Amino acid sequence: MPTTMQDLRRQPINVVDEEKGSNQEIRDKKIDKTEKTMPLDAEVLVGSLRDGRLRVLSPFSVRFSSEGSSIIAEATEFNEFGFGENWSEALLDLQYAIVELYFSLEGGQDRLGSDLQNVWSVLQQKIQKIQK
């Protein structure tokens, strides 16, 4: 085991024989330059919460709607909402809200009423806490 800089210098250089990138082959690639507008009342499946502590195991459904100039994103399974000036802001707000909901329910599991128990059960089916 080298202990000084001199010892380290005497160590043989670790030669890497081969490094490989994970270049994935894409099949049937198609570029579409036709302009389309995503409908504001769309319902989509979301597979991320933008939070390194939580992983989405099964995608959750998000319904978008508009009210005045605001866009509302609703995760019907969790009864949670996000708001914003556009689709992206509303979704981001919803993702933060779900993360907050997860940790607040996790912290108070023994005090949950039946509605929140149901929400917690769905959250556990769909979202996994990453153990560090």
Partner 1 sequence: MTQRDKPQSQIVPILAAALVCDVACVDPNSGKHTLIGIFDVIHVRNFPSRRHISVYLKITNAEGAYEFDVRFVQVATNKILVGAKGNFEVKSRVIPMGLYIPFPPFDIPSDGRYEFQVWANTIYLGSTCIDVEKSA
Binding site for partner 1 (CB under 8 A): 18-33, 35-38, 40, 44-48, 50, 55-59, 85-88, 91
CB of 40 to partner 1, least distance (A): 7
Q: How far is the CB of 60 from partner 1 (least distance, A)?
A: 10
Spatial separation of the C-alpha atoms in residues 52 and 15, rounded to whole Å: 34
Smaller CB separation from partner 1, 54 or 105: 54
Q: 25 is written with which tokens? A: 């082959």
In degrees and rounded to multiples of 5, residue 57 shows phi and psi of -85, -35
Give me the phi and psi of 84, to 5 degrees please. -175, 175
Residue placing its CB nearer to partner 1 in the complex, 25 or 67: 25
The closest of 76, 75, 72 to 85, measured between CA atoms, is 72
Nearer residue to partner 1 within complex by CB, 24 or 131: 24
